[in-house]
Structure 1
Amino acid sequence: MDSGIGAMVEAVGEARRQLRENALPKARDSSRERVPEKEEAELLKALAGLMEVFVELAAAASDRMTTIDSGTAYHQVAKRLRDQPRYLREDAAKVAKRVGGAE
């Protein structure tokens, strides 16, 4: 894959691997202590940032596709995901407000 797609696929795969190996086990560990109230919104903020990168990557890739159908598919993915970071940030703000944490 000389087009740079290989590097993009590898970066996404590495992010997925890191999340599965490092974040998910901590989230699933029921023996861990409860999350302090002031920290409850932090993961939502982090997810919003990650989602923003997904949107940017899909949008950037849409302009590089050779076929119209593939370019349209990437454009549609970016369009469908575009509002999700805002929703996550709104939810984070609600959680922070509810528990008295900083937004």
Structure 2
Amino acid sequence: MDSGVRAMVDAVGEARRQLRENALPKARDTSREKVPETEEAALLGALAALVESAGELAYAVADRISPDNSEAYVHAYRRLEREARNLRDEERKANGRTK
């Protein structure tokens, strides 16, 4: 595998591992208290940044992918960009509610 591609695959894999090992157990722990409203915006912002980064990666490699697959990367970028915007909108709303 091309070393650049290996680095991308490894970075995405590491991000996934970190989420699964560190964030998801805390999110799934039903004995934990509810997320304070003052902290909701921070979580929305973090999720938005993650989705934005995934979209940027898809877009950055789209022109290096075979024509048979490049359209999938562009579509993924557009969908991820749209979802990141939705998360950013909700982040702004959450920030507005706590001021």
TM-score (norm 2): 0.90
RMSD (Å) for aligned C-alpha atoms = 1.4
- 1:4 corresponds to: 4
* SS in structure 1 at match of 2:31: coil
Residue 64 (structure 1) aligned with residue 64 (structure 2): yes
The letter for the 2-side match of 1:84 is: E
Distance in 1, matches of 2:39 and 2:76, equals 31
Which ranges of structure 2 fall in alignment gaps of 5 or more residues?
Answer: none
- 1:80 corresponds to: 79
Superimposed CA distance per residue, residues 18-40 of structure 1 (whole angstroms, 9 cap, x where no aligned partner): 00000000111122233222112
Which ranges of structure 1 fall in alignment gaps of 5 or more residues?
Answer: none
- Higher-helix-fraction structure: 2
The letter for the 2-side match of 1:34 is: K
The letter for the 2-side match of 1:6 is: R
Distance in 1, matches of 2:3 and 2:59, equals 16
CA spacing shift, 1:61–1:83, aligned 2, 3 Å: same
Distance in 1, matches of 2:25 and 2:69, equals 35
* CA shift for structure 1 position 87: 0.6
- State the percentage of identical aligned residues: 59
Count of residues in correspondence between the two structures: 99
TM-score (norm 1): 0.87
Moved more, 27-36 or 81-90: 27-36
Residue 94 (structure 1) aligned with residue 96 (structure 2): no
